[in-house]
Amino acid sequence: MNEIVTTRPEHAPPEFSVIITCYFEEPTIDEFHGRLSASMEATGRAFEIVFVNDGSTDGTFEKLKAIYERDPRVGAVADLFRNTGQVCAMSCGISLARGRHFIFMDSDLQLDPEELPRLIDAFDEGHDIVSGYREKRKDSLLRTLPSRVANVIMRRVARHRLRDFGCTFKVYRGELVRAFGFGPYKPWQTAYVFAQAGRVKEIPVRHHPRRHGKSGWSLLRLSAFLMDHLVGVSYRPFQLLSALCFLGALLLVARIVAAWALPFSLLPEVTPGLILNALALHLLVSLAVLSAIGEYVIRNFATLRRDPTYVIREVLRRNGE
């Protein structure tokens, strides 16, 4: 990893670290930076901006380096070797940030940086997390439908009934985020952070159609993200399945006893079709359970190997910040 350090006098950490993940944002990153900086300046708060280039192969990183050189409020810029996904890029940003609290936002201009003061005002009310939700989302059905499924799962894990977990426009209390130790060996997990938060507020934000590029959230990546959360709460489904199996065994024993003791049959005709349907159902349930167990074992194996989920190619950050 190449690291370039710019020497500056040491001073107290800023109040907020604004962590921005970038993926093929060359056409809009200068406009985004200007609007974000102006919005944060309007709050009167001390802040730094941390940019993470998530493996973009266009001119995004070159533009980020130029922004870093001319704007001392940019505390760090990191370039990842490859596109690892937004959650890994967010983890990288957290590891480089110095602020007391965290603000996350996409850089694709689908969300307005000008709405940041509203989220910070809500955060000042004493909430642990303030989250935006896209009131009138401007994405296609292929994007919104999987998000609805994801929100159902996330509500279960997070124990908060948010409308839109997928909106990355959020403000987090720093102690809450840092308690998890996110980094290359433990990527960001939204729902688990929410699960530990006591006071959460959600406010509507404007959403615009994507102007350039494409989202880094493919269906495959979204499926992996959801599997992370399903595996994380796997003990509950397994407990439920065990209880259902035990209940099924009791019912089977009761039916055998009833068939032996009663003068009539509770199930007079056992047809080949009924047997095949029962076998098919049993097979599908067994395969689903084995797949979940296999996923759990594989993820434990990967954790024990400690393979990093992202690797930094180059990082620029200011000495003493």
Structural contact between residues 9 and 319, judged by C-beta atoms closer than 8 angstroms? no
For residue range 183-218, what is the model confidence (pLDDT) as tens digits? 998 888 888 898 899 899 999 998 887 766 555 555
Q: Per-residue pLDDT averaged across 85-89, rounded?
A: 90
For residue range 157-190, what is the model confidence (pLDDT) as tens digits? 777 878 777 788 999 999 999 999 999 988 888 8
* Integer Cα distance of 48 and 101 in angstroms: 11
With bands split at pLDDT 50, 70 and 90, how would you rate the model's confidence at 9? very low
Out of 8-12, 68-72, 116-120, least confident range = 8-12
* Confidence (pLDDT) at 275: 66
Q: Which of 23, 27, 28, 67 is nearest to 49 (CA)?
A: 67
For residue range 276-301, what is the model confidence (pLDDT) as tens digits? 766 777 677 777 667 766 666 766 66
* Confidence (pLDDT) at 26: 92
Structural contact between residues 101 and 17, judged by C-beta atoms closer than 8 angstroms? yes
Q: Per-residue pLDDT averaged across 230-239, rounded?
A: 56
Q: Is 100 left (phi over 0), alpha (psi -120 to 50) or beta?
A: alpha
With 80 as the cut, is the pLDDT of residue 56 above it? Answer: yes
Q: Per-residue pLDDT averaged across 131-154, rounded?
A: 71
The residue ranking higher by pLDDT, 201 or 6, is: 201
With bands split at pLDDT 50, 70 and 90, how would you rate the model's confidence at 266? low
In sequence order, what E strands does the chain have? Answer: 2-7, 16-22, 47-53, 74-80, 101-106, 129-134, 170-172, 200-205, 312-319
* Confidence (pLDDT) at 321: 46
The kind and range of the H/E element at 159 are: none
The residue ranking higher by pLDDT, 1 or 220, is: 1
Please state, for a pLDDT cut of 90, what percent of the chain lies above it.
Answer: 43
With bands split at pLDDT 50, 70 and 90, how would you rate the model's confidence at 320? very low
